[in-house]
């Protein structure tokens, strides 16, 4: 058992209780607003530049019983959106002043509509997330972002200036740079953090004021250096598929003599990836980054790039096996399954496919499958 | 794994011929029903003979500018039609078998069965010969499958995408430019240049089809409703399969004239119309006998559905010299397009329908693989009750798979539903009953 990091404990403390943490309460107590965002095509930089706290709307480490939500969103839909809606019904997201979604997927879009119809917030908005990664997509997204900036400015009765956005870009770029440093450290033979811990770091980034997060991230990297902590597990895993916010799911995998060294989640590696170009006009720079600057994700029609990216990360992080965690009813991941398995087979990388409900713990059946997968990896290593 | 029950294009042509002959002989059916089957046969035969006729075939999803295809000698093969038609022609075993084959390739059972049917038939080599795939970000995420399957079967594909708020100036401009790129793709694939004069003619025919559709809507709104189940899907298929063609205009003209005659003579779909029903998603493709059953058992007549209705006034011909601009506008107003908008917008559209068609109850088919419906279904239900006092029955089903829910279960739910409507104050007030 490795000694926990003090800084990580502090991150968890600052983001607790979930979701309305002490940090959120302090923020609101000072008269400032909190805006929920829902998927990776919402530029937090614009919300930040408007002086508001961007807060990712998700579930957390406890599974949520969704019976109440199913009166509003039928059960043949993604359990992530039902979880978030259940948390809203339970009053846990009452602190939000607004919610911004993007039409990255049908279900994200529908959650924002259900929210708008049954619990309208003072500010609600939607942005289109282009399915094609090309210049046309960038221009479409840029115009949508400009419209969004105008609507948000109207809500605030205050134009959000380019200069503020440029400043926010610098702050968020720094955050990405620090998070990426942590990914780099996970390439080591003995990485300093577990996959579960890395996800806790990403969650903190999406829930804390970014300046505060950046300070803590610097402390964490320093603490990693000082302590020389190493995770000694023989098998290296990669998680692909939908975002996981229940780190207990990852911890359960890591209890089986393996460590998760990389992922391809939006809340994971994509959240830490790359930099917004500070030489471009800030809105254009954001549009280019959000459409083209990150690895291809599941929502892009042409998923060749996504599959190739997964393969490249397997090589860079020397992954022994992939765990594909797809939330049931995810259309995009559903259509990529066949080719993901085929392409990874061609690369000689085994995949364990776990289709789960979002946030729910791995049961005994999943544990048996995971154990068998680890045994198979072990026998391949011999 | 069996592939014996999968529908083939040859079998479909045969079944449609038989249906057309049967419609001519069966007493009591609308005269237009034979022409209805003729129109559908024409559509399928055009696909079958495309290669011999020097034409191309594009398998496509919904919300496509089919007029562009028509002007370029490309024949559309609509995957939703191909999914439903096996059921509608009585080949109920085909879809479950295709879905099973799809599952065997690793495609999850939770994605839309129109696309799984397409996947399964393609895997088994039973999908019509296709030169390319065409799709659009409206209406759903499943269109990703076109690229996925295109990669798998080496078929080129092109997708159209539009902004979430489509009526802004920049979104309209973008959408029109997408059509230019669409044409460029087709020109590259076919080696043929777009003839814009021909496109203008096709667009003009398509607009005439819209006008006929709207005239038919006005007639169907009469009490008693003159439209019988055997022709119910006629407008939907004319608009969605053959826009910009004379065949579709001829059929809708005949249907319009017959409906007018029936209205003038006071002939309804049934003698004693007790309930007027709207389908707030799609009609029951998975069970082609259900609409007739509802008429016979409850006196419930189907008067409208979301997929068959235009948005707003639908005057989309803004400038006859700008066919792409007209088409860009047309597809935003086209039947079914409101699904791409918010559930609140869909509900508003349905409430307009409820008032126009004087409906007593709505039936929402919550299709297992449809993520948009699963989330806006409750909003529609609540909004229709709140705004127009129309209650909704929700049937949890699969759009294509007749085995997903039993007929007995549906009948049991309908028994209670119509009994509830009949005893409701809103129904009594509408019918001036005490």
By Cβ distance, the residue of A81, A128, A328 closest to B163 is: A128
Which among B195, B131, B138, B129 has a CA at the least distance from the CA of B166? B138
- DSSP single-letter state for residue A271: H
What residues pair up with B275 in beta bridges, in sequence order?
A: B300
Tell me whether residues A144 and B371 touch, CB distance under 8 A. no
Please count the other Cβ atoms lying within 10 Å of the Cβ belonging to residue A26.
12
DSSP letter string over B148-217? HHHHHHT--EEEE---SSTTSHHHHHHHHHHHHHHHHHHHHHH-----HHHHHHHHHHHHHHHHHHHHHH
Strand pairing class (A98-103; A123-128): parallel
Alpha helices for chain A (secondary structure H): 6-14, 22-29, 44-49, 79-89, 106-118, 135-156, 162-185, 195-205, 210-227, 247-254, 269-272, 282-292, 304-316, 331-347, 364-381
State the pLDDT confidence band at A365, using cuts at 50, 70 and 90. Answer: confident
DSSP letter string over B352-413? HHHHHHT-SEEEEEEETT-HHHHHHHHHHHHHHHHHH---EEEEEE-SS-TTSS-HHHHHHH
Q: Which residues of B touch A113 (CB under 8 A)?
A: 342-344, 375-376, 379
Which among B51, B41, B54 has a CA at the least distance from the CA of B9? B41
Tell me whether residues B161 and A109 touch, CB distance under 8 A. no
Domain boundaries, chain B: 9-163
DSSP letter string over A187-236? TSSS-SS-HHHHHHHHHHHTTS-HHHHHHHHHHHHHHHHHHT-----SEE
Tell me whether residues B164 and A143 touch, CB distance under 8 A. no
Tell me whether residues A113 and B152 touch, CB distance under 8 A. no
φ, ψ (nearest 5 deg) of residue B67:
-60, -35
By Cβ distance, the residue of A107, A116, A137 closest to B371 is: A107
Tokens describing residue B13: 């042509």
CB A238 within 8 A of CB A322: yes
Tell me whether residues A126 and B148 touch, CB distance under 8 A. no
Which among B59, B214, B38 has a CA at the least distance from the CA of B129? B59
- Preceding peptide of B319 cis, ω within 30°: no
Tell me whether residues B164 and A304 touch, CB distance under 8 A. no
Query: How close A210 comes to chain B (CA, Å)?
Result: 29
Q: Which residues of B touch A81 (CB under 8 A)?
A: 375
CB B256 within 8 A of CB B219: yes
Tokens describing residue A73: 């969103």
Query: How close A337 comes to chain B (CA, Å)?
Result: 7
Which among B208, B292, B282 has a CA at the least distance from the CA of B252? B208
Question: Is this complex's ipTM strictly greater than 0.85?
Answer: yes
Separation CA B401–CA B91 (nearest Å): 11
By Cβ distance, the residue of B110, B159, B378 closest to A71 is: B378
Tell me whether residues B163 and A140 touch, CB distance under 8 A. yes
Tokens describing residue B370: 């449809």
Question: Which of A71, A82, A110, A303 should one mutate to test binding to chain B, selecting the residue with the greatest count of B CBs within 10 A?
Answer: A110
Please count the other Cβ atoms lying within 10 Å of the Cβ belonging to residue B289.
12
Question: Which of B375, B378, B382, B396 should one mutate to test binding to chain A, selecting the residue with the greatest count of A CBs within 10 A?
Answer: B375
Tokens describing residue B342: 């918010």
Tell me whether residues B371 and A76 touch, CB distance under 8 A. yes
State the pLDDT confidence band at B10, using cuts at 50, 70 and 90. Answer: very high
Alpha helices for B232-302 (secondary structure H): 234-241, 246-265, 290-298
Tokens describing residue B362: 């709505």
Tokens describing residue B140: 């759903």
Alpha helices for A228-330 (secondary structure H): 247-254, 269-272, 282-292, 304-316
Tell me whether residues B159 and A114 touch, CB distance under 8 A. no
- DSSP single-letter state for residue A2: P
| Fold exhibited by the domain B9-163 | Rossmann fold (3.40.50)
Tell me whether residues A76 and B161 touch, CB distance under 8 A. no
CB B395 within 8 A of CB B412: no
Q: Which residues of A touch B369 (CB under 8 A)?
A: 76
For B333-370, how does the pLDDT look when each residue is reduced to its tens digit (9 = 90+)?
998 888 888 899 999 999 999 999 999 999 999 999 99
Strand pairing class (B56-60; A351-356): unpaired
Beta strands in B1-127 (DSSP E): 56-60, 74-78
For B203-255, how does the pLDDT look when each residue is reduced to its tens digit (9 = 90+)?
999 999 999 999 999 999 999 999 999 999 999 999 999 999 999 999 999 99
Which residue in A has a C-alpha nearest to residue B395's C-alpha? A74
CB A53 within 8 A of CB A29: no
Which residue in A has a C-alpha nearest to residue B374's C-alpha? A74
Tell me whether residues B168 and A117 touch, CB distance under 8 A. no
For A248-285, how does the pLDDT look when each residue is reduced to its tens digit (9 = 90+)?
999 999 999 999 999 999 999 999 999 999 999 999 99
Tell me whether residues B141 and A110 touch, CB distance under 8 A. no
Separation CA B143–CA A303 (nearest Å): 13
Tell me whether residues B344 and A117 touch, CB distance under 8 A. yes
Query: Could you give the percent of chain B with pLDDT greater than 70?
Result: 100
Indicate left, alpha or beta for B155 from its phi (over 0: left) and psi (-120 to 50: alpha). beta
Tell me whether residues B106 and A336 touch, CB distance under 8 A. no
Q: Could you give the count of Cα atoms lying within 13 Å of A333 in the half-sphere of its Cβ?
A: 19
Query: How close B142 comes to chain A (CA, Å)?
Result: 6
Which residue in B has a C-alpha nearest to residue A298's C-alpha? B144
The answer on pLDDT for B434 being more than 80 is no
By Cβ distance, the residue of A107, A140, A301 closest to B144 is: A301
The answer on pLDDT for A349 being more than 90 is yes
For A23-58, how does the pLDDT look when each residue is reduced to its tens digit (9 = 90+)?
999 999 999 999 999 999 999 999 999 999 999 999
The answer on pLDDT for B263 being more than 90 is yes
The answer on pLDDT for A1 being more than 70 is no
Query: If you average pLDDT over residues A123-134, what whole number do you get?
Result: 95
Q: Which residues of A touch B368 (CB under 8 A)?
A: 76
Tell me whether residues B344 and A107 touch, CB distance under 8 A. no
Q: Which residue has the tokens 């024949």?
A: B75
| Residues contacting A10, CB < 8 A, separation 6+ | A216
Question: Which of B144, B145, B181 should one mutate to test binding to chain A, selecting the residue with the greatest count of A CBs within 10 A?
Answer: B144
Tell me whether residues B378 and A299 touch, CB distance under 8 A. no
By Cβ distance, the residue of A72, A111, A127 closest to B164 is: A127
For B62-73, how does the pLDDT look when each residue is reduced to its tens digit (9 = 90+)?
989 999 999 999
Separation CA A216–CA A212 (nearest Å): 6
């Amino acid at each position: 058992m490795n000694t926990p990091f003090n800084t990580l404990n502090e991150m968890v403390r600052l983001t607790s209780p979930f979701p309305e943490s002490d940090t959120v309460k302090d923020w609101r107590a000072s008269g400032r607003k909190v805006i929920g965002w829902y998927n990776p095509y919402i530029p937090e930089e614009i919300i930040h530049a408007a002086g508001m706290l961007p807060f990712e709307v998700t579930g957390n480490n406890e599974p949520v019983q969704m019976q109440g939500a199913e009166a509003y969103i039928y059960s043949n839909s993604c359990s992530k959106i039902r979880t978030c809606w259940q948390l809203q019904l339970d009053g846990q997201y009452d602190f939000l002043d607004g919610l911004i979604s993007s039409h990255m997927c049908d279900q994200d879009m529908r959650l924002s509509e259900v929210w708008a119809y049954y619990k309208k917030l003072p500010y609600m908005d939607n942005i289109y997330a282009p399915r094609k990664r090309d210049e046309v997509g960038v221009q479409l997204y840029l115009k949508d972002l400009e419209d969004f900036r105008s609507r948000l400015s109207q809500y605030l009765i205050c134009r959000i200036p380019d200069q503020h956005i440029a400043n926010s870009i610098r702050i968020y770029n720094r955050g990405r740079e620090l998070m990426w440093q942590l990914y780099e450290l996970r390439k080591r033979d003995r990485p300093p953090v577990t996959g579960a811990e890395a996800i806790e770091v990403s969650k903190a980034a999406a829930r804390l004021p970014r300046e505060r997060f950046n300070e803590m991230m610097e402390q964490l990297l320093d603490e990693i250096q000082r302590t020389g902590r190493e995770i000694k597990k023989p098998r290296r895993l990669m998680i692909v598929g939908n975002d996981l916010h229940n780190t207990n799911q990852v911890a359960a995998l890591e209890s089986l003599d393996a460590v998760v060294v990389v992922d391809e989640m939006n809340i994971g590696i994509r959240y830490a990836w790359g930099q917004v170009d500070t030489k471009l006009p800030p809105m254009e720079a954001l549009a280019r980054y959000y459409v083209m600057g990150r690895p291809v994700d599941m929502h892009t029609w042409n998923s060749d790039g996504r599959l190739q990216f997964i393969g490249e990360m397997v090589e860079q992080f020397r992954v022994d096996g992939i765990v594909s965690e797809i939330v049931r009813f995810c259309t995009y991941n559903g259509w990529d399954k066949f080719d993901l398995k085929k392409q990874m087979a061609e690369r000689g990388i085994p995949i364990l496919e776990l289709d789960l409900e979002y946030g729910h713990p791995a049961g005994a059946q999943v544990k048996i499958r995971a154990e068998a997968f680890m045994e198979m990896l072990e026998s391949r290593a011999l | 794994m069996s592939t014996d029950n999968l529908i083939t294009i040859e079998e479909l042509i045969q079944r449609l011929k038989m249906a057309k002959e049967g419609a001519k002989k069966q007493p009591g059916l609308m005269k237009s029903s034979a022409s209805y089957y003729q129109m559908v046969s024409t559509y399928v035969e055009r696909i079958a003979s495309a290669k011999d006729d020097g034409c191309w075939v594009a398998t496509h999803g919904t919300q496509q500018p089919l007029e562009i295809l028509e002007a370029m000698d490309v024949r559309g093969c609509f995957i939703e039609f191909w999914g439903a038609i096996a059921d509608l022609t009585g080949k109920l075993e085909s879809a479950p078998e295709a879905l099973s084959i799809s599952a065997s390739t690793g495609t999850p059972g939770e994605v839309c069965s129109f696309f799984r049917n397409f996947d399964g038939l393609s895997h088994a080599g039973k999908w019509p010969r296709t030169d390319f795939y065409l799709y659009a970000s409206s209406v759903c995420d499943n269109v990703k499958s076109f690229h996925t399957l295109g990669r798998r079967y080496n078929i080129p594909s092109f997708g159209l995408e539009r902004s979430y708020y489509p009526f802004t100036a920049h979104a309209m401009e973008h959408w029109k430019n997408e059509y230019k790129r669409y044409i460029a793709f087709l020109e590259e694939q076919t080696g043929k240049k777009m003839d814009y004069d021909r496109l203008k003619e096709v667009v003009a025919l398509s607009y005439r089809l819209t006008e006929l559709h709207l005239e038919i809507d006005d007639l169907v709104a009469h009490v008693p409703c003159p439209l019988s189940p055997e022709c119910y899907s006629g407008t939907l298929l004319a608009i969605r399969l053959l826009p910009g063609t004379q065949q579709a205009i001829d059929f809708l003209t005949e249907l319009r004239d017959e409906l007018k005659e029936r209205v003038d003579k006071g002939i309804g779909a049934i003698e004693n119309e007790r309930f007027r029903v709207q389908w707030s998603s799609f009609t029951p493709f998975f069970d082609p006998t259900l609409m007739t059953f509802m008429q016979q058992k409850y006196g419930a007549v189907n008067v409208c559905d979301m997929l068959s209705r235009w948005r707003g006034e639908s005057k989309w011909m803004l400038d006859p010299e700008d066919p792409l601009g007209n088409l860009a506008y047309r597809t935003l107003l086209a039947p079914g397009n409101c699904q791409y908008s918010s559930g609140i917008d869909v509900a508003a559209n349905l409430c307009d329908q409820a008032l126009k068609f004087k409906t007593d109850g709505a039936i929402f088919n919550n299709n297992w693989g449809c993520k948009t419906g699963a989330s806006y279904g409750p909003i529609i239900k609540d909004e229709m009750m709140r705004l127009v006092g129309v209650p909704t029955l929700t049937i949890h089903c699969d759009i294509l798979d007749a085995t997903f829910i039993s007929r007995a279960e549906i009948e049991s739910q309908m028994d209670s539903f119509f009994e509830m409507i009949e005893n409701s104050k809103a129904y009594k007030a509408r019918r001036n009953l005490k």
